[in-house]
Structure 1
Amino acid sequence: MIRPEPVRSLLDKITAREQAIAAETEQVRVRLDELTALLCELEQEAENLRITRKTVLALGGEPDPRPQPAIPEHPAYQQILAVFAEEQKPLRARDLCQALDLDITPKNIENTRHKLKRLVSRGILAEPEPGLFTLLRA
């Protein structure tokens, strides 16, 4: 079936836009991968510096002069930290939901991930790779 010229022109424009979006999407994915890798490197370097500080202070017999991070008062954070203390291994948000007997739903996983990210920002947990969390040793 031969399409009228206006329809063919419109379809050509749609095809061109789809191709442009696909190319831009790929560029964004590449950049996102680069930024994710950079973030992991920076987090690992920060973790290495924390460990080095702790080691130097321990060897010198001096206490760490930095204030200890404040743990949020909400009971959920206490439960999360208790799971990390018990498990003694890196965990993902989904793992925490299972350990806390929460339904494995996107909402619960995202809420747990948000709490884990807050604990990372407070220097209580580390995220050595995206989505994997571990307890920082005091």
Structure 2
Amino acid sequence: MTASAKQKSQVPVWREGLAWSALSIDYQRILTTLGDRSRLGQGPLTCEEMAALFGMEVVPARVEALRSKAKRLVACGWLAEDAPGRFTLARGISGPGGGS
């Protein structure tokens, strides 16, 4: 791997009892934010909304980076995308400890 090539974070497939700590801090932040919304009875978030909540500049590069992470979490069973571009915790996912 060249010095300029960046290794992608591995996202394990979710399974019962797998702790959020198995994920990198960026992925944990997404899960924590969506978990907080779920506990408050609030709906899904778009990547633009997440970028704003995280204090990021809401520009295409930042939004697309978040979208890539969110889609990876969906593919591995951590998040659900019931409507295009709107993300929530997947069914069975709760609290930072992992399990359901």
Q: TM-score, normalised by structure 2?
A: 0.65
SS at match of 1:126: strand
Tell me how large the CA RMSD over aligned residues is: 2.0
Q: Which runs of 5+ in 2 are unaligned?
A: 1-13, 93-100
SS at match of 1:127: strand
CA deviation after TM superposition for structure 1 residue 67, in Å? 3.2
Higher-RCO chain (CA-CA 8 Å, sequence separation at least 6): 2
| Rg larger in structure | 1
Aligned equivalents of 2:72 and 2:87: distance in 1?
11
SS at match of 1:134: strand
Task: Please list the CA deviations of residues 21-55 of structure 1 after superposition, one character each: whole Å capped at 9, or x if unmatched.
Answer: xxxxxxxxxxxxxxxxxxxxxxxxxxxxxxxxxxx
- 2:29 corresponds to 1:75: no
Task: Please list the CA deviations of residues 54-99 of structure 1 after superposition, one character each: whole Å capped at 9, or x if unmatched.
Answer: xxxxxxxxxxxx9336756211011111110112220100011011
Moved over 6 A (4+): none
The number of equivalent residue pairs is 73
Percent pairwise identity? 34
Counterpart for residue 111 of structure 1: 65
Q: Which runs of 5+ in 1 are unaligned?
A: 1-65
Aligned equivalents of 1:121 and 1:70: distance in 2?
17
Counterpart for residue 93 of structure 1: 47
Q: TM-score, normalised by structure 1?
A: 0.48
**Bigger share in helix:** 1
Aligned equivalents of 2:19 and 2:74: distance in 1?
12
- Residues 70, 122 of structure 1: 8 Å contact kept: no
Relative distance call for 1:70 and 1:121 in structure 2 (3 A) is farther
Counterpart for residue 91 of structure 2: 137
